Amino acid sequence: MFAFQDSRRGVDVAFTDRHGGVSGGRYTSLNLAQTLRHRPGDEVAAVEQNFRLVSEAFTGRTPAPAVVCMHQVHGADVAVVENAPGSGSAPSQADGLVTSTAGVVLAVRAADCVPVLLADVEAGVIAAAHAGRPGMVAGIVPAALAQMRECGAERIVAWLGPHVCGRCYEVPEKMRAEVAAVVPESYAETSWGTPAVDVGAGVRAQLEAAGAEVIGVGRCTIEDEDLYSYRRQGPESGRMAGLIWLRP
């Protein structure tokens, strides 16, 4: 169920893999994708059940706490979650979430993009961010860091979840040049010698430039079949999630 878990003084983080859920077919089995209308009705119900299973395992609580997700659009908008789930606090559209409320589970979905979890354990401020190639260029990570600091964060640690690596993320030469012009550290080459973008390296550079401590999980979604990958599986790929909360 979990590709990685960690805890730091009252803050728990985890990244899921694709096992331990109830989804069937090509979504097998722990699909946490956004429940869009074009998905089969039984898969919508399966995703809801998968989130309950993940939340119970992550928090150790039954009934499982609700999870605050976001409608991710590859942008740089960050929303502050001030209330517990169920009170209308979940944003309709954002690529970053920040909270200082204990007991609120924040989630970021991904299937090749970089899921980023952030925390200042002393200040009690946490965040989740969705950093794909467009979001990295748009500055979602700096935006999340800035919002965390507005909420009182100072010493921030960041966890980078499984994502497509620079050896596998082939792009046109023009795209590589355009991205590297904004984030030079993302410039890469595939293992077969063609232009590539290393989103993980670019996000790490943005975090380190802002003074954050960075912990990388180091698993490539294309290379590891225990993980979902949009590039490997196509549009019907499932989604994994990064989860973070302040333990109540």
For residue range 205-221, list pLDDT tens digits in order.
Answer: 999 999 999 999 989 99
- Domains of the chain: residue spans and CATH: 2-16+67-246 (3.60.140.10)
pLDDT value for 53: 97
Residue 204 has pLDDT above 50, yes or no: yes
Side-chain half-sphere CA neighbours of 212 within 13 A: 29
Q: How far apart are the C-alpha atoms of 162 and 164, rounded to whole Å?
A: 7
Q: What angle do CA 26, 172, 17 make, to 5 degrees?
A: 30
Q: How far apart are the C-alpha atoms of 160 and 24, rounded to whole Å?
A: 28
For residue range 92-124, list pLDDT tens digits in order.
Answer: 799 999 999 999 999 999 999 999 999 999 999
244 within 8 A of 13, measured Cβ to Cβ: yes
Taking alpha carbons only, the member of 104, 128, 132, 125 closest to residue 117 is 128
Percent of the chain exceeding pLDDT 90 equals 88
pLDDT value for 88: 47
Give the highest mean pLDDT range of 3-7, 46-50, 82-86, 88-92. 3-7
For residue range 67-92, list pLDDT tens digits in order.
Answer: 999 999 999 999 999 876 654 455 67
pLDDT value for 83: 78
- pTM for the model: 0.96
Q: How many CB atoms lie within 10 A of CB 19?
A: 13
